Amino acid sequence: MAELNHLALAVHDPRRSLTFYRDVLGLEGDVRTEEYGFVLTTPSGLTFTLFEGRPATDIGEFHFGVSLPDGDAVRIRREELRAAGIPEFEWCDEDGYVSVKVLDPDGYVVEVAWDEQYIRT
């Protein structure tokens, strides 16, 4: 079985993006500095690379996400993101699913969500 183990994004300013993902979205993990940017390895083993480059200009439906433990945590995070002036792209609050999509500093869409369908036991 194949398992997704990394994501790499071209960003204008890797340090600014690292700050956004760690301090604003709360992504945790060990950070390794590379000549091209940063590699963050999450506690689950996913490596997230932010390398200096030219971000995509037409990302269409592309987005990626982070999960929170319940719907209330997403609602609270939404208010925190709004207070921080983070641009909101989309909001959904329904039974079993709560999601806010925001824009990162380079215009990538990032979803912060809780989905009861994907609760790990």
Q: In tens digits, what is the pLDDT along the chain, a chain of 121 residues?
A: 767 789 999 999 999 999 999 999 999 999 999 999 999 999 999 999 999 999 988 777 788 998 999 999 999 999 999 999 999 999 999 999 999 999 999 999 999 999 988 765 4
Which two three-digit tokens encode residue 55?
Answer: 């971000």
Q: Is residue 1 part of a domain?
A: no
> What's the whole-model pTM score?
0.86
Residues 99, 109: contact at Cβ < 8 Å? no
Residues 25, 110: contact at Cβ < 8 Å? yes
Which two three-digit tokens encode residue 6?
Answer: 């990394």
Phi, psi of 68, rounded to the nearest 5 degrees: -120, 160
Longest Cα–Cα distance of the chain, Å, equals 45
CATH code of residue 14: 3.10.180.10
CA distance 54 to 1: 33
- Same domain membership, residue 115 and residue 67: yes
Residue 48: domain span: 6-53
Distance of CA 54 to the CA centre of its chain: 18
CA distance 21 to 56: 18
Total structural domains within the chain: 2
